[in-house]
């Protein structure tokens, strides 16, 4: 085998060895599927039924008061709710704190312009087991999960997806 041929073969083998490395991440089983229904009371005892928000774009955020990246996100979410509500955005926050007391204390200090509910194992399981925070889902106007942001995420990325769903150029 000539040197040229050997080099070509080695290059092809090297490329084929590298390509699968980019494909090890399993597909998200929740994406492009209907968002799981739920009905919960929020901290102000208002009944929150996800189905009632069909026709709006939902940002469903799982968070907790002890989660540092969540603390960074909350003020931006509050700002987005105010800015994008006229275009049909509804943010729903689900706290994965073990008890409501610290959440009530948090919202007293940092009033939020969207419902905050207490989560639990059942609700977490409906959304693929929420096993790391923050965990954010974008649900389109037809009730389909179209984006899923797990862990600390660049807020600009979430906002860019949100603006697409809200049809804002």
Partner 1 sequence: MQVRKFFCLLAFFAFTVLTAHAQTAISATTIPTDRLVQPEELVKLLQSTSAQPLILQVGSRVMFGEAHIRGSQYAGPASTPAGLKALESSLTASPKDHLIVLYCGCCPWGRCPNVGPAFKHLQELGYKNVKVLYLPNNFGDDWVSKGYPTEHK
Interface with partner 1 (CB under 8 A): 26, 64, 66-69, 96-98, 119-122, 124-125, 128-133, 150-152
Q: Of 90, 27, 104, 82, which is closest to residue 60 (Cα–Cα)?
A: 90
The least CB distance from residue 120 to partner 1, in Å, is 6
Report the candidate in 77, 69, 60 with the shortest Cα–Cα distance to residue 119: 60
Nearest-approach distance from CB 134 to partner 1, in angstroms:
8
The residue among 126 and 141 lying less far from partner 1, judged by its C-beta, is: 126
How many other CB atoms sit within 10 Å of the CB of residue 42?
A: 17
CB of 122 to partner 1, least distance (A): 8
Nearest distance in Å: CB 39, partner 1: 19
Our CB check for partner 1 shows the closer of 123 and 146 to be 123
Strand bridging mode 57-63 / 135-139 = antiparallel
Q: How far is the CB of 167 from partner 1 (least distance, A)?
A: 32
- Residue 144 near residue 106, CB atoms below 8 Å: no
Q: Which residue, 150 or 163, has its beta carbon nearer to partner 1?
A: 150
Phi and psi angles of residue 33, each rounded to the nearest 5 degrees, phi first = -115, 155
| Other Cβ atoms within 10 Å of 39 Cβ, number | 11
CB nearer to partner 1: give 8 or 125. 125
Task: Yes or no: say if 141 and 62 are a contact pair by the CB < 8 Å rule.
Answer: no
Residue number with CB closer to partner 1 (96 or 165): 96
């Amino acid at each position: 085998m000539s040197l040229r041929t050997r080099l070509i073969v080695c290059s092809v083998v090297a490329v084929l060895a590298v390509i699968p490395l980019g494909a090890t991440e399993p597909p998200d089983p929740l994406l492009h599927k209907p968002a799981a229904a739920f009905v919960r009371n929020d901290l102000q005892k208002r009944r929150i039924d996800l189905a009632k928000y069909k026709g709006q774009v939902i940002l469903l955020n799982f968070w907790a008061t002890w989660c540092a990246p969540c603390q960074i996100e909350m003020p931006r979410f509050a700002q987005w709710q105010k800015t994008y509500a006229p275009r049909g955005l509804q943010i729903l926050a689900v706290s994965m704190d073990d008890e409501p007391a610290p959440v009530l204390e948090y919202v007293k200090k940092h009033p939020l312009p969207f419902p905050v509910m207490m989560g639990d194992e059942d609700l977490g399981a409906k959304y693929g087991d929420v096993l790391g925070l923050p965990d954010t889902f974008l649900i389109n106007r037809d009730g389909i999960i179209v984006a899923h942001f797990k862990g600390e995420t660049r807020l600009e990325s979430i906002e860019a997806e949100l603006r697409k769903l809200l049809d804002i150029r």
